[in-house]
Amino acid sequence: MIVLGIESSCDETSVALVKDGRKILANVVASSLKIHSRHGGVIPEIASRLQLESIGEVFSEAVKLAKIKKEQIDLVAATSGPGLPGSLLVGMSFAKALALSLDKPFLGVNHIHSHIYANLLCHQDIRLPCVALVVSGGHTTLFHIKDFTKIKILGQTLDDACGEAFDKVARIMGMGYPGGPLIEKIARNADKHKIKFACGGNNAGLDFSFSGIKTAVLYYLKNKKSSVKLKADLAASFQDSVIKVLVKKSLLACKRYRINNFLLGGGVVANGHLRQQFSEGTKNNGINCFFPSISLCMDNAAMVAGLAGYLYKRGARSSLNLNIEFN
């Protein structure tokens, strides 16, 4: 079964073709990140306008790379939400029109669930049920997954998403956008124990909170003379404090539900310190930990196509009247 997937929930425009839910035939991503970097963040109107301009070309390139004919596509899928309304409409509208023109079924899938499924494109030995954590610029959510038709939220951020906190702290420190890679870069050889930060969510529950540590960074910098070392130690201390809470809550969820399989997904999972801390923490607790490849941590259509194929085989269907879900 060949599934064509489209991802357009934020600033990327991606089209992919995946065979039998696991084999990536093509995965083309067009990003407008450089343009948004000039503005210090994603501008929704600019993102959707650029997606309208590029989606046709991205589609043609993906089909060419997959070395198939359009008629060989068995299912057309697109991210239906959550995401930016204008951006979601671009991808959904293109997917529906394509499905109609090819007389193929259409399926809308959840963007966050797709990030978790990205692991199945990289690892053949994953066993369900599992606990999963999605950490991105818009979401920080813990899930219990019996299978991908039965997903339950265990905990989530009560305010800022983790990636959003990285971006805001980078801005406070006078750095650019996106903030996550910049903070990781200057934190590499710095002292992560230099500054003690209390990160919200240090309780018995499974919810997170990152607005407090963001404010703590702001007040720490007040009346202090900035220096390269100060910024580096601050970045390292902030990063380590946030990641420790992510690891702690994830291990707690695995323990409560007596599950030893753990999956991660989302853009923040590309962070090297996060991957190291989760690898060590899960290993020390006898838990099997899985990450997607770095490229599949980012928004991409391969994860959309993969999940759509999985769901379609289990009876999932969408009408061409399906609306976007942007919350």
Residues 209 and 279 both lie in one domain: yes
Report d(CA 133, CA 261) in Å as an integer. 12
Q: Hey, is 222 helix, strand or coil?
A: coil
Of the pLDDT bands very low, low, confident and very high (cuts 50, 70, 90), residue 260 is: very high
- Residue 230 falls inside a structural domain: yes
**Full DSSP string of 12-31:** EEEEEEEETTTEEEEEEEEE
Q: What Å distances lie between residue 310 and 3, 21, 218, 283, CA to CA?
A: 10, 6, 45, 29
C-alpha distances in Å from residue 142, one per residue of 138, 166, 188, 265: 14, 19, 27, 11
Look up residue 277 and give its two tokens. 């801390």
Q: Which two tokens stand for residue 19?
A: 């065979």
Indicate if 177 and 237 belong to the same structural domain.
Answer: yes
Report the 10 Å Cβ neighbour count for 26: 20
Q: Average pLDDT for residues 228-246, to the nearest whole number?
A: 96
> Percent of the chain having pLDDT more than 70?
99
Mean pLDDT calculated for residue range 150-172: 96
Instruction: Quote the CA–CA distance of 27 and 221 in Å, as a whole number.
Output: 42
Q: At 34, is the pLDDT very low, low, confident or very high (cuts 50, 70, 90)?
A: confident
Collect all residues with Cβ–Cβ distance below 8 Å to 87 and sequence separation of at least 6. 8, 9, 10, 11, 44, 47, 48, 51
For residues 113 and 181, state if they share a domain.
no
Taking residue 288's Cβ as centre, other Cβ atoms within 10 Å add up to 17
In the predicted structure, residue 214 carries a pLDDT above the cut 90 = yes
Residue 189 lies in a domain: yes
Mean pLDDT across 88-115: 98
How many CB atoms are closer than 10 A to CB 208? Answer: 26
Per-residue pLDDT averaged across 129-139, rounded? 97
Is the confidence at residue 130, as pLDDT, over 70?
A: yes
205 plus 302 within the same structural domain: no
265-313 pLDDT, tens digit per residue, is: 999 999 999 999 999 999 999 999 999 999 999 999 999 999 999 999 9
Strands 140-147 and 130-135, sheet pairing: antiparallel
Domains: count for the chain:
2
Instruction: Give rounded-to-5 percent helix, strand, coil for the chain.
Output: 45, 20, 35
The Cα 117–Cα 260 span in angstroms is 17
pLDDT at residue 327 is higher than 80:
no
| pLDDT tens per residue across span 117-127 | 999 999 999 99
pLDDT at 174: 93
> Same domain, yes or no, for 212 and 145?
yes
Residue-averaged pLDDT of the chain: 95
Q: What is the pLDDT of residues 65-97, one digit of tens each?
A: 999 999 999 999 999 999 999 999 999 999 999
User: What residue numbers bound the domain in which 213 lies?
Assistant: 126-291
**Which band of pLDDT confidence, cut at 50, 70 and 90, is reported for residue 190?**
very high
> Is residue 326 assigned to a domain?
no
